[in-house]
Amino acid sequence: MNSTVDAWRRQQRVTLIARRETVTAAERKQAVDAVGEALDRLVGELGSTTIGLYWPIKHELSLIPWARALAQRTGALLCLPVVVAAKSPLEYWRWAPGEPTQPGVWNIPVPARRDVQSPDLVLAPLVGFDNQNYRLGYGGGYFDRTLSAQTRPPFAAGVGFDFGHLETIFPQSYDVAMNAILTECRAIRLS
């Protein structure tokens, strides 16, 4: 990667994560509710039955309550991403809210039991996003590698706060555009 672009991306991550820390409880609830409503519509349109969630860190939107309600209402199967090897695609392991977890990479909770699933809808947390639905994440490339490794990639929805919008993230050859971006203010779908 171009060192200037790399430095710019690092600075954007720092700035946007710091901004997430300032979001009030009321603003966070409003964002979670809006994204949850958009996800309900998306799940209905796609007919999704296996949802790849994420465990919220660094003040990300927590969609665990939304997922719990969805599973109770529709019987959808939920799973969480697991780093099984450095610089490799993620695996998604079946999990339901309340089931045991254990610390994974970076101490992010993962299911205690390995039960690999193939989600048809994957939710990817956004640090930032751009006009072409490219996602700025934490820089590890795990979501991009995971989506690229699939012969039939799942529908990928980036979820986060609208203030993460950037004109461009200066996508590189390995970046994978999201099929949809969902924030408290917009639901943009490419496919």
For the chain, the structural domain boundaries read 3-189
The average confidence (pLDDT) of the chain is 94
CATH class for domain 3-189?
alpha beta
Write the pLDDT tens digit of every residue in 133-181: 999 999 888 989 998 898 888 999 999 999 999 999 999 989 999 999 9
Query: SS3 sequence, 56-80?
Result: CCCCCCCCHHHHHHHHHHHCCEEEE
Residue 1 has pLDDT above 60, yes or no: no
Residue showing tokens 């720092």: 14
Angstrom distance (rounded) from CA 23 to CA 162: 12
Single-letter amino acid, residue 131: N
Residue 30 has pLDDT above 70, yes or no: yes
Mean pLDDT of all residues in 103-107: 92
Measure the CA angle with vertex 7, ends 6 and 13; round to 5°.
90
What pTM does this model have?
0.94
164: left (phi over 0), alpha (psi -120 to 50) or beta: alpha
Q: Looking at residue 141, what is its pLDDT?
A: 87
Q: Looking at residue 61, what is its pLDDT?
A: 97
Please state the φ and ψ torsions of residue 46, each to the nearest 5 degrees: -80, -20
Q: Which H helix or E strand runs over 93?
A: strand 91-94
Question: How many separate helices (H) and strands (E) can be counted in the chain?
Answer: 4, 12
C-beta atoms surrounding 173 within 10 Å: 5
Residue 2 pLDDT class (50, 70, 90 cuts): confident
Q: Looking at residue 191, what is its pLDDT?
A: 62
Mean pLDDT of all residues in 81-105: 94
Write the pLDDT tens digit of every residue in 52-71: 999 999 999 999 999 999 99
